[in-house]
Amino acid sequence: MKDKIVLVDGCRTPFLRSETEFLNTMTYELGQLAIKGLVSKTGIDPNEVDSVVMGCVIHTLKTSNMARESALTAGIPNKTPCHTVTQACISANRAIVAAIGEIATGQAQVVIAGGADSASETPIGYKKHMRTKLMKGNKIRSTADMIKFVLGFKLKDFLPEIPAITEFTTKKTMGQDCDIMVAKHNVSREDQDIFAKRSHDNAEKAWEDGHHQKEVVPVEIEPDFKMIKKDNGIRSGTPIEKLAKLKPAFDKKHGTLTAANSSFLTDGSAVCLLMTESRAKELGLTPKAEIIDYCFTGQRLEDELLLGPAYAMSKVLDQTNLSLNDIDVFEIHEAFAGQVLTNIKCLADDEFCKVELQKEKPVGEIDINKVNKWGGSLSIGHPFGATGARLLTTAANRLIEENGQYAMLSACAAGAHGHAMIIKKYEG
């Protein structure tokens, strides 16, 4: 009998708006905090960890293999190999799948997988010609050469090159692409605002009900050592009328995306503990969920950049012979309110399913009451490399809380990618 691959548990730091309390905390340190929290929460002996895989999008030269630095400083032994992966907003999803692959092939039995990102640590450089000039500075050997080198600069050379969250191929931001997509699929500004408000209200209620406390490890950050226990991006109770007054954030003239119905730049980390069922029993650990199946997809960059969830959810349902009606819990990454609503709409649309998914009939309608009941990226936050691990952890915890059987998590990502995974509540 094939050994099941199971999720024992997950853990995350509070997700904080960039440039706030995690301003001076490096990405690897966020990963360290999450890993230490997971080890403490599960009681796993660090010596039992066979591998660590972490996702990251905003890389720095100092910690090119962020996973290794996070693991070592968290107390994972030197003998444990670690590697960092990247696939935009589904980097943690890719890390988790890499862990599953290691376990399935017998390369490892116990793996910590997830990710971390700090938008506050975004590297800012110079344009190519300036970098070329600066590199020549290494060859300076005399005062005369130094004077000549310095005098060769112009003021405009010192203008920084600010990173932009744009597609390399299309040169459009994700917000611009989403504005085009929601207009094409007739998703209204009002519906986007309602969904955004729902996300924030759901997140706050989940904190009040004690759900997020099961996932979040409180942290203390130098120099103040103030205990941070909660996400700081949640804005519950905002009237729809107030949201309706906000100006478009991307297409200033015709757009419907605003700061309120778009996810915000976030610092944070999330990790999961994965292993074989037999190893969990040997270690005396009770899993929360069984990994059933997953998939990744790629779509057209020009007009389908954010439609990955529709393609991926349809594909993984086919792989598992399940239907949307079989799924009790949905955790869908909220890059934008309009992105979630469009993907849900497409799965129920006859023409889209026939033309794009080659289906004889629509995949089906998703009950919105099953979607992101504890909030989502719009309210909780979205550290690019970490969100996938949060989705998996929350999906498993919701299955237990709601006494469901199957959960599906899904996300879009830059490069016109999609991911979906189905898990099942562990019943021994």
The number of domains in the chain is 1
Is 225 within the bounds of a domain? Answer: no
Whether 353 sits among the annotated catalytic residues: the reply is no
Q: What is the pLDDT of residue 127?
A: 83
Is 128 within the bounds of a domain? Answer: no
* Ramachandran region, residue 268 (left: φ > 0; alpha: ψ -120 to 50; beta: rest): left
Q: What is the pLDDT of residue 131?
A: 81
Q: What is the pLDDT of residue 249?
A: 96
Is 287 within the bounds of a domain? Answer: yes
**39: β partners:** none
Whether 89 sits among the annotated catalytic residues: the reply is yes
Q: What is the pLDDT of residue 141?
A: 86
Domain of 361, in residue numbers:
5-122+262-425
Distance, in Å, from the CA atom of 428 to the CA atom of 6, rounded to the nearest integer, reads: 11
Is 52 within the bounds of a domain? Answer: yes
Q: What is the pLDDT of residue 133?
A: 79
Give the list of residues 6+ apart from residue 64 with CB closer than 8 angstroms, or none: 84
Write down the catalytic residue from 89, 178, 272, 353. 89
Write down the catalytic residue from 82, 178, 295, 412. 412
- As averages over each run of 10 residues, the pLDDT of the chain (428 residues) reads 93 98 97 98 98 96 94 98 98 98 98 97 81 81 85 83 80 94 97 98 98 97 89 97 97 96 98 98 98 98 95 98 98 98 98 97 98 98 98 98 98 97 96
Quickly tell me which residue has 């991006």 as its tokens. Answer: 233
Is 41 within the bounds of a domain? Answer: yes
- Phi then psi for residue 94, to 5 deg, are -65, -40
Is 168 within the bounds of a domain? Answer: no
Q: What is the pLDDT of residue 140?
A: 85
Q: What is the pLDDT of residue 222?
A: 81
Is 132 within the bounds of a domain? Answer: no
Look up the CATH number of the domain holding residue 381: 3.40.47.10
Distance, in Å, from the CA atom of 33 to the CA atom of 54, rounded to the nearest integer, reads: 13
Q: What is the pLDDT of residue 289?
A: 98
3-state secondary structure of 315: helix
Cβ neighbours of 158 (radius 10 Å): 9
Verdict on whether the full-model pTM lies above 0.85: yes
Tokens of residue 356, six digits = 């794009």
Query: Is there a contact between 270 and 33 (Cβ–Cβ < 8 Å)?
Result: no
Q: What is the pLDDT of residue 83?
A: 98
Is 147 within the bounds of a domain? Answer: no
